[in-house]
Amino acid sequence: MHRRVKDFIKKLALEEFTNRSIDVADKIGKTVHNVYIKDTKSSWASCSTLNNINYSWRLALAPEYVIRYIVAHE
């Protein structure tokens, strides 16, 4: 994939996943400290003990139901 396309996807993913993460966290009474977009190949996402959530940019290419599940899981 061309670098510019990947950078564009990462930019959109950061905004979308940040909004979704904050919405889900509010619903369950939790807080999200930071959201990061990474270039991981072995996992869709991870959450640290400091409430930082790392998402793979590749998740943005997944079906909607997968994105909803991963955001809720993290």
Q: Report how far apart, in Å, the C-alpha atoms of 17 and of each of 14, 23 are.
A: 5, 10
Mean pLDDT (whole number) for 5-18: 96
Distance in angstroms (rounded) separating the CA atoms of residues 30 and 35:
14
Alpha carbon dihedral 23, 25, 31, 34, in 10-degree steps, equals -60
Helical spans, DSSP H, in the chain:
3-27, 64-73
Its pTM surpasses 0.85: yes
Please report the pLDDT score of residue 13 as a whole number. Answer: 97
Tell whether the model's pLDDT for residue 1 goes beyond 90. no
